[in-house]
Amino acid sequence: MPTIFVFLLDLMLTALAVEAAGWMVRLGFHPDATLGLQGTTVAASAAMFTAALGCYLTGLHAPSLLLQRKQIVARVALVSVGAMLATLVVAYFVWYQPIGRTGLVLIGALTFVVLTIWRLTYARFIAKGPRIPILVLGRGPVERRFAGRLNSLAHTRYEIRGFVEGGELATELPPESSAVVLGEPIPDGPEPPVLGALADVIEICQREQITHAVIVGVSGLSEAQVRAMSQLQAHGIRVRTAAIMWMNLALQVPIDMVDARWVLNTFEQLDRPVVLAAKRLLDLFVAGLGLLLFAVMFPGLWLLQRIDSPGPFFYSQDRVGVAGQVFRVHKIRTMRVAEREEQRWASQADDRTTAFSRLLRRSRIDEFPQFWNVVRGEMSLVGPRPEQPKIVEELERKIPYFGYRHLVKPGITGWAQIHQGYAASVDESAVKLSFDLYYVGRLSILMDLDIMLRTAFVMLARIGSR
């Protein structure tokens, strides 16, 4: 379901909850109460937009969250409390429109009910509703792997019905492919059947009532495949590429589907001087504010660190940036001095950290000095997280296309950070790369703003703070 549609639906349902709260207050408590969109317009609007934006920032629009009932209930509860608080602040401190405790409680409760019910209802439809059958053109190793992965996704209605053979060009799998493939391990299970030959594709679709077809085409398309795609489109059967389908469903770039077309499209996406200039201005503005805030906090942070772990306040380390260039990244030291130069994977329970430094990491305050790297142009606010040179060398040997993440400047936060967090192994780095490539291929100011807003929730939820 499109994100904008989900946002508007949340907005509309919260408006209904506010109106219902006003109706209930007038019916059972205060007949003269003005609570509602007409009587308390400003406060009601605050509740609506806080709820809709809160659902977005907490990730409730993400398809992968639909079938996680406990997560839905917990996050909607948080959003409902936020809507209540926004209504209270606006009604009594911004635009005086007295609502009363009963009205506030009803707004929060009804918002929770309507937002939870529609998501659980839609989740049930996704899980139990009719499937959309898909035919895969080809039966090479990448096609089979794509089919197995897509059929394992629980949050989509798509289902690979089978393959057609013939016409595909020879394709080899990338090396070291376990979790490297589509950013996730390939599940074990029965493989969809071969339904026939490519030459009979129209007859097969009509017989199996298939309305969608997918082409992988990593190594190019044969003349037979192009002819089959034209016939399918002429008969009203939608033809999509596997890479685009996977990106839309999983918000990742399938690593084993990166090809020359993806690279050229990415080059075109990055060759937009106006967008890059706007991104740089945004970097400078936010980094300037961040450095001012850091200057205010510096005396207290310095004192607390001296008490907790004597040693230098700042810590600098080599990291790999755009075009593979090495630069020095600056952070507040969060490790003991004796071991600070060791290059190894971070972990949740890192024995090199102290209690105070773990608090700095969870709140991301330790990364405030990186705003200086942003001002110097070595980093951006948003981009793939920079890795240590030795780790980059290892990952480039084991993960195909890892160097493509260096097409853009590294960032303080990024698409991978809000979806996965930090990586502590080669397999986790492969998953992270699939998110980084998605960002590289779709870089835009709106995407940067989206990531920056959602980073706030990720920080509060302590995700990706190693």
Which tens digit of pLDDT belongs to each residue from 168-208? 655 555 554 444 444 455 566 678 899 999 889 999 999 99
Q: What's residue 177's pLDDT?
A: 44
H-helix or E-strand containing 380?
strand 380-382
How far is Cα of residue 126 from the mean position of the Cα atoms in its chain?
Answer: 20
Q: What's residue 183's pLDDT?
A: 47
Q: How far apart are CA 259 and CA 1, in angstroms?
A: 28
Cβ–Cβ under 8 Å, residues 392 and 420: no
Cβ–Cβ under 8 Å, residues 35 and 101: no
Q: What's residue 170's pLDDT?
A: 57
Low-confidence ranges of the chain (pLDDT < 70): 1, 33, 39, 167-189, 217-219, 336-352, 421, 458-466
**CA geometry: angle 324, 329, 331, nearest 5 deg:** 155
Q: How far apart are CA 434 and CA 429, in angstroms?
A: 9
Residue 101 token pair: 């405790």
Q: Quick one: 398 exposed, middle or buried, by C-beta within 10 A (0-12, 13-18, 19+)?
A: middle
Indicate if the alpha-carbon torsion angle 7, 12, 16, 18 is positive or negative. Answer: positive
Q: How far apart are CA 11 and CA 388, in angstroms?
A: 44
Domains and CATH numbers, the chain: 1-128 (no CATH), 132-171+181-250 (3.40.50.20), 271-339+350-461 (no CATH)
H-helix or E-strand containing 445?
helix 445-460
Q: What's residue 167's pLDDT?
A: 65
At 81 the three-state DSSP class reads helix
At 338 the three-state DSSP class reads helix
- Where are any strands of DSSP class E within 84-170? 132-137, 158-165
Q: What's residue 319's pLDDT?
A: 95
At 47 the three-state DSSP class reads helix
Q: Quick one: 341 exposed, middle or buried, by C-beta within 10 A (0-12, 13-18, 19+)?
A: exposed
Provide CB contacts within 8 A for 127, sequence distance 6+.
Answer: 67, 154
What pTM value is reported for the model?
0.80
Q: How far apart are CA 253 and CA 256, in angstroms?
A: 9
Residue 85 token pair: 């608080």
Residue 359 token pair: 């608090």
Q: What's residue 462's pLDDT?
A: 56
Taking each helix axis from N to C end, the angle separating 445-460 and 41-57, rounded to the nearest 10 degrees, works out to 90
Cβ–Cβ under 8 Å, residues 104 and 84: yes
DSSP string spanning 108-166? HHHHHHHHHHHHHHHHHHHHHS--EEEEEE--SHHHHHHHHHHHH-TT--EEEEEEEES
